[in-house]
Amino acid sequence: MSFFGKMFGKKGEAAPTTGEAIQKLRETENMLIKKQEFLESKIEAELDIARKNGTKNKRVAIQALKRKKKYEKQLQQIDGTLSTIEMQREALESANTNTAVLQTMKNAADALKAAHNHMDVDQIHDMMDDIAEQQNIATEISDAISNPVPFGQDVDEDELEKELEELEQEELDKELLGVGPSATELPEVPSDEIKEKAKEKKKATAADADDKDLKELMAWAE
């Protein structure tokens, strides 16, 4: 197979992948770089011949310079070829990177699509509504638990207000009328003192009765 056949393949063959093409370009680059090094060494050798024979053998020196010019032309061609190959390789590497990125993105999109296929948007909305409702119920329960239990809520506030007004009016009436202490507030009299006063009263009553009888008897005697 010719060089171009090896390089580009036979007609009808499947095109190489980007990875294979990049590998081939790198191999070609390495081959051309070695060719460059060879030509550079040949140019340096011809220069040495020209220097050594410049004054001794002019014909030999000129022939060496001609060969040097030929090698330099080949070297220049190789430099141009390397630049083209390097540009192609970089373009293929960039394309290969883009292909890998796009394939990754496609795989991610397919995976996302597959994940969404298992989801129903209406069911998701219903689920979110249920979650919100349960959160509201939980909040109400927390509020109910945290609030203190009201005491005496069954008492009529209006009735208490009325009773308070009556008490205030009663106190006001007492102040205006100057009412003294009630019977329940009178000081308690000792029972011994009451009994003693009763005996004295009884004695006084008996003495009065005796005095009365004496007076009647004296009046009858006269």
d(CA 202, CA 196): 10
- The structure tokens 């010019």 sit at 69
Residue 9 lies in a domain: no
| pLDDT value at residue 1 | 47
Residue 57 lies in a domain: yes
| pLDDT value at residue 75 | 95
| pLDDT value at residue 169 | 86
Residue closest to 44 by CA, chosen among 23, 5, 72 = 72
pLDDT band for 204, please (50, 70, 90 cuts): low
Residue 106 lies in a domain: yes
**25 burial via Cβ count (<10 Å: 0-12, 13-18, 19+):** buried
Residue 43 lies in a domain: yes
Which domain CATH number covers 105?
1.10.287.1060
Residue 45 lies in a domain: yes
- 4-52 pLDDT tens trace: 455 555 566 677 888 888 899 999 999 999 999 999 999 999 999 999 8
Residue 36 lies in a domain: yes
If one counts the domains in the chain, the total is 1
Residue 184 lies in a domain: no
The answer to whether residue 197 scores a pLDDT higher than 70 is no
Count of beta carbons in the 10 Å neighbourhood of residue 155: 9
Count of beta carbons in the 10 Å neighbourhood of residue 49: 17
- 81-123 pLDDT tens trace: 999 999 999 998 888 888 888 889 999 988 888 887 877 777 8
Count of beta carbons in the 10 Å neighbourhood of residue 28: 16
Residue 109 lies in a domain: yes
Q: Which residues contact 92 (CB under 8 A, 6 or more apart)?
A: 18, 21, 22, 25
The answer to whether residue 206 scores a pLDDT higher than 90 is no
The answer to whether 32 and 81 are in contact (CB under 8 A) is: yes
Please report, for residues 63, 75, 208, 216, 218, the alpha-carbon distance to residue 221 in angstroms, rounded to integers and kept in the order given. 211, 195, 20, 9, 5
Domain that holds residue 42: 16-118
